[in-house]
Homo-oligomer: A and B are copies of this chain.
Amino acid sequence: MTTKEKIVDEALTLFSINGFKATTVKAIADAVGIKDSSLYKHFSSKKEIFDTIVERMREKMAEMSVEIGLPDENDFLKAASKYANMSLEELQAFSRMIFLFYLKDDLISRFWRLANMEQYSDPEIYEIYRNIFMEESIAYQAKLFNEMIRQGSFSAHDPKAMAMNFYAPIFFLLSKYNGRSAEEKEALDILDRQVEEFYHLYRNKYNAS
């Protein structure tokens, strides 16, 4: 890892705990192991480090939908079919994957906290935070459930309300356990119970395995 990368990494860690303003350039430099003045050979200002983090996050988000194995918009029918015959255990594994992806990915979980803190004073961050952690997940899942209902895997309900019932508990648990890896097991237990409930509420009996 280059010094420049190390600066970005340590800055994100500190920003995600204390926020942008309360994190000093000296604290970042100390964490990296250089003097604060040396840091200005890599970045012209503290704000530029922050902007770099946001830019990295945008790139990460572009990869994300690929990495997590979510299908793209063009083959929704195939995707819904793929999930159509999921057992409870498979649905739990699927929800765990989404949950742990947000919770354990170092970049994402630190950025969650940082964006959560800065959203009220920074309109750009507000937009990014809302899009990544609220809008996109709900919208994707609503489309997926809509297709799964059409194919008969789930009984007929409002897909948007279904998506909310699936995602809101994940969002709640992410808010609660983000940065608390010691309590990860507790979080996963609650998630499993929640998904079991979801499965029983929505799974089309005539199609169930």
Q: Which of B17, B22, B162, B171 contacts A19 (CB 8 A)?
A: B22
Q: How many chain A residues have a CB neighbour from B under 8 Å?
A: 36
Q: Is A5 an interface residue (CB 8 A)?
A: no
Q: Is A193 an interface residue (CB 8 A)?
A: yes
Q: Which of B19, B121, B158 contacts A197 (CB 8 A)?
A: B158
Q: Which of B117, B168, B201 contacts A171 (CB 8 A)?
A: B168
Which residues of A150-209 have CB atoms within 8 Å of chain B's CB atoms?
Answer: 157-158, 160-162, 164-165, 167-169, 171-172, 175-176, 179, 190, 193-194, 196-197, 200-201
Q: Is the interface of A mostly helix, strand, loop or mixed?
A: helix
**Cβ of B179 and Cβ of A17 under 8 Å apart?**
no
**Cβ of B121 and Cβ of A172 under 8 Å apart?**
no
**Cβ of A193 and Cβ of B158 under 8 Å apart?**
yes
Query: Could you tell me the distance in whole angstroms from the C-beta of A146 to the nearest C-beta in chain B?
Result: 14
Hey, which bits of chain A sit against chain B, CB under 8 A? 16-22, 113, 116-117, 120-121, 130, 134, 157-158, 160-162, 164-165, 167-169, 171-172, 175-176, 179, 190, 193-194, 196-197, 200-201
Which 7 A-B pairs have CB atoms at the shortest separation, nearest pair first?
A: A21-B22, A161-B197, A168-B168, A168-B172, A168-B169, A117-B117, A18-B121
